[in-house]
Chains A and B, each alone.
Chain A
Amino acid sequence: MKKNIPDERTQISDLVSATVVDTFTSMFGQSVTAEALAKQMSGEPAKSVFSSVKLHRGKTHLEFCFRFDFDLLLQAAALIFSKDYLASNPVHEDLACEIANIVCSKVKAYLNDRGYDTEMGFPYIPKSDQNPLMRQKEAVHMHFYYNNEQAQQGVGVVVNFFEEGAGH
């Protein structure tokens, strides 16, 4: 039985890809596409929403960071909420946390089925100046694309994950 989470990076990446695509498609009616390598896009999203989840395992933890294009979340939310409601009630952070929760729960189940004893924390919105996305070179980076309302393709979701505390 494997006991080294970095050995599972490929499997975790595949699971994250499948779950992000499935969640957007089946739950929020949005088509997103996973890409193995980041394509050169014309520009970064004008506005992003971040969410994070930590999977704890002893003194180490596996940290997942999600960055969503605000417009993608808005398109997803429009399937559930009326335009009037969305105009006065910000729901994008709840949406970002819920998607992170679903994806990381699948990863936790995968790891625990293989003998890892991981516990999952609640999803949270990181403070922008503490966003680990910006400082982790060892992280696995995954990009997902979508078409916006103007049929222009853009980066809809970026997922990074990395293990912290190993070797301590």
Chain B
Amino acid sequence: MSAANIPELRVLVVDDNLVVRKLIEVQLVNLGFTGIEVASNSQEAQDKIAATNYDIVFLDWNMPGKSGYALMQEYREDRKYDHIAFVMVTAESQERYVREAVKAGATLYITKPISPVTFKEKVEKVVAWINTNRATKTG
């Protein structure tokens, strides 16, 4: 599989807050992403993940109903979704939450408030992770 080409990457943004969904979408568009979809809760996210082979999923940690954290845990138990970069987005900044997220399989952790500079740095790391993952599988 070839290196990740940003416009070809399929991204899902999951957050119950309309403003956060749109903010992340706008910042992704500014970075060159084109294949962006959104979901406002975990059930909608599950339906979309079942239908589309996403490369990156941005997940809000705390959402009414099933949390983004719980959703990520479920997918990380299934090797079929190993290729997906799960990015936890949350205002939770305690170190223990970061450790928990990484332990549960989060590729990256973004704490709010999200600045465009920090967001760009994080997305570059995610793309690097995807490239490493693909190289490992083909190597």
Quick check: is B125 within 8 A (CB to CB) of the other chain?
no
Chain A residues touching B, range: 20 to 34
Query: In the complex, which residues of chain B have a beta carbon less than 8 angstroms from the beta carbon of A27?
Result: 23, 112-115
Which residues A62-79 have CB closer than 8 A to chain B? Answer: 77
A-B contact pairs, 26 of them (CB 8 A): A22-B113, A23-B113, A26-B114, A27-B23, A27-B114, A27-B115, A77-B19, A80-B22, A81-B22, A91-B19, A94-B18, A94-B19, A97-B17, A98-B17, A101-B17, A101-B112, A102-B91, A102-B112, A102-B113, A105-B91, A105-B92, A106-B91, A109-B92, A112-B94, A113-B94, A122-B64
Question: Considering the chains assembled together, what is the distance between the CA atoms of A98 and B15 in angstroms?
Answer: 11
Query: In the complex, which residues of chain B have a beta carbon less than 8 angstroms from the beta carbon of A94?
Result: 17-19
Quick check: is B20 within 8 A (CB to CB) of the other chain?
yes
A166 to chain B, nearest CB (A): 24
- Excluding A27-B112, A105-B91, A109-B92, 4 further A-B contacts by CB distance (< 8 Å) are A27-B113, A80-B26, A94-B18, A102-B91
Query: In the complex, which residues of chain A have a beta carbon less than 8 angstroms from the beta carbon of B93?
Result: 105-106, 109
B28 to chain A, nearest CB (A): 12
Question: Considering the chains assembled together, what is the distance between the CA atoms of A117 and B93 in angstroms?
Answer: 15
Contact across chains for B23 and A101 when beta carbons are under 8 A apart: no
Chain A residues near B (Cβ < 8 Å): 19, 22-23, 26-27, 77, 80-81, 91, 94-95, 97-98, 101-102, 105-106, 109, 112-113, 122
Given A80-B26, A106-B91, A113-B94, decide whether A91 and B112 contact each other with a Cβ distance below 8 A. no
Contact across chains for A109 and B94 when beta carbons are under 8 A apart: yes
Question: Considering the chains assembled together, what is the distance between the CA atoms of A95 and B17 in angstroms?
Answer: 8
Contact across chains for A101 and B91 when beta carbons are under 8 A apart: yes
Which residues B98-139 have CB closer than 8 A to chain A? Answer: 112-115
As a 0/1 sequence over residues 46 to 80 of chain B, the CB contacts with chain A under 8 angstroms (1 = contact) are: 00000000000000001010000000000000000
A14 to chain B, nearest CB (A): 16
Query: In the complex, which residues of chain A have a beta carbon less than 8 angstroms from the beta carbon of B114?
Result: 26-27
Question: Considering the chains assembled together, what is the distance between the CA atoms of A109 and B97 in angstroms?
Answer: 10
Query: In the complex, which residues of chain B have a beta carbon less than 8 angstroms from the beta carbon of A77?
Result: 19
A114 to chain B, nearest CB (A): 11
Query: In the complex, which residues of chain B have a beta carbon less than 8 angstroms from the beta carbon of A91?
Result: 18-19, 22
